[in-house]
Amino acid sequence: MEEKLTDQEQARYDKLPKYEELGVDPFGKRYDWKDRICDIRANYGELSAEELSEKAIEVDVAGRLLAIRRMGKAAFVNLKDEFGNIQGWIGLDVIGEHDYSVFKLADLGDIVGLKGTLMKSRTGELTIRVTGYTHISKCLKPLPEKFHGLTDTEDRYRKRYLDLIVNDDSRKIALMRPAIIKEVRRYCDDLGFVEVETPVLSPIAGGAAARPFITHHNTLDKDFYLRIATELNLKKAMIGGIDRVYEIGRIFRNEGIDTRHNPEFTTIELYQAYGDLRSMKEWMEGLLKSLAKKILGTDQVTWGEHVLDFSVPFKSVSMCDAILEATGIDFRKEMTFEEAVALAKEHHVPLQESWNSVGYIIQAFFDEFVEKTLIQPTFVHTYPIEVSPLTKKTEDPRFVDRFEIFICGMEFANAYSELNNPFDQKERFEAQLAAKGRGDEEANDIDFSFLDAMRYGMPPAGGIGLGIDRLCMMLCNVDNIREVLLFPTMRDEK
């Protein structure tokens, strides 16, 4: 059902035939502009009115009209392109009667081209003295009010296109994200890593503990999963001889939506043959320090109320030591599952029916008492084997060689000394399958193709998965993941 037009919208619709009477297509055609507004300001913004007059600098820009101030036979406008905005002065005597008649039909939000010479206004504002005005495309709906803008958070996310038009901060983040990803790529490429692409559709859900999305392939008459990780295919590539391999790609997990989670998100997964967890620590710490310098120009990164110091070595602590420090409980000591359950109940730690060993409870204690306290970048290492099915064991077989890095109480990356023993891997997969049988919806299936690949020999390796969206949250200094997603997943409108 078509919505009823407001008076302002109707007035804009009524102008469409008037454009056609003037021989102008209201929805335009190609326009070959040549100047970015940011470049104009950078190159000529400091010149005086006299210098601009002497040089007679010609420019040609295209963008959206965000302000119009009419004064009879002349007007000032404000034009915004992708990287900035600039004032224009339009006079009837300069552009001629036909083009001025076209300009008189202009509304805020219209996309136009301005050609002219640079000058300074009486107030000293860099201005284009317009000699050619081109209507490019009509805006049929009024933009949000100038001083109040698009303030409703849900509207900002649902109508991101409008948010980008009127909110400079949103536009800055939208442009900053690809710059961050580009820098991540450069960092990896410079270290000799090779970027590959692996399938999004998978016949099994594997590589992480998560609930998958399920779809159906009609020709094969078979269910597939949207990938919950890129891990297993990247390891197959490494087995095939690509020693340093990575992928930046979309991951899909059928889980909740909140300020830190979106059902589809972007990660980088990376594997380094002949490396281990120490290799991944070096990679991770080096990346964060490089990004801070290259993107923000500082190693003191402000995120919300915290200032993060990337100039010093990152803290590193084992999971059990972190829990001991927070609660006084030492899970390094041997204890029965029943004893661990009793401790969890005593400390009001939530339990799940599918758990059957101490490792799950260690993880739960960490989640409850430690995670939110880790503000400065901190590597938490040595995890219980039950929650790490793809990781090499430590000397104590209850634990594995794994770390996660936490910043401001949020997990950013997960890294392993990768398990490369196919017999051990098969046992881990079988333990995951048993957990699935007990009701754990996040447990892995057995990937027999991966086990087959491992039997051809997988080198010792370090591996890591890093959340790109959370990385962008930190570097853009926002506390909601939807701020760094161009079009986040939204609940239905009420």
What mean pLDDT comes out for the span 364-376? 98
Q: What's the confidence (pLDDT) of residue 64?
A: 97
What mean pLDDT comes out for the span 363-372? 97
d(CA 416, CA 102): 64
Tokens of 344: 């969890």
pLDDT exceeds cutoff 70 at 2: no
Q: pLDDT for 472-492, tens place per residue?
A: 999 999 999 999 999 999 888
**Whole-structure pTM value:** 0.91
Tokens of 390: 């793809």
Would you give the DSSP letter of residue 483?
A: G
Q: What's the confidence (pLDDT) of residue 146?
A: 54
Q: Looking at the chain, how many residues does it have?
A: 494
Band of pLDDT at residue 147, cut at 50, 70 and 90? very low
pLDDT exceeds cutoff 70 at 150: no
Q: pLDDT for 153-187, tens place per residue?
A: 888 899 999 999 988 999 999 999 999 999 999 99
Q: Are the beta carbons of 390 and 231 closer than 8 angstroms? A: yes
Percent of the chain with pLDDT over 90: 86
d(CA 106, CA 100): 10
Q: Are the beta carbons of 181 and 232 closer than 8 angstroms? A: no
pLDDT exceeds cutoff 60 at 119: yes
What mean pLDDT comes out for the span 456-465? 97
Paired strand residues for 194: 245
Q: What's the confidence (pLDDT) of residue 152?
A: 75
- Main-chain dihedrals φ then ψ at residue 432, nearest 5 degrees: -65, -40
Q: What's the confidence (pLDDT) of residue 269?
A: 97
Tokens of 66: 């965000």
What mean pLDDT comes out for the span 29-50? 96
pLDDT exceeds cutoff 60 at 148: no
Q: pLDDT for 321-358, tens place per residue?
A: 999 999 999 999 999 999 999 999 999 999 998 899 99
Measured at the alpha carbon of residue 191, what is the angle toward residues 189 and 197, in degrees to the nearest 5? 40
Tokens of 292: 């801070």
pLDDT exceeds cutoff 90 at 256: no
Q: Are the beta carbons of 245 and 478 closer than 8 angstroms? A: no
Q: What's the confidence (pLDDT) of residue 24?
A: 97
- Main-chain dihedrals φ then ψ at residue 228, nearest 5 degrees: -100, -5
What mean pLDDT comes out for the span 293-305? 97
What mean pLDDT comes out for the span 76-83? 95
Which amino acid does the sequence have at 37?
I
Q: How many helices (H) and strands (E) does the chain have?
A: 17, 18
3-state SS, residue 466: strand
Q: What's the confidence (pLDDT) of residue 1?
A: 54
pLDDT exceeds cutoff 90 at 391: no
Q: Are the beta carbons of 290 and 301 closer than 8 angstroms? A: no
d(CA 383, CA 50): 69
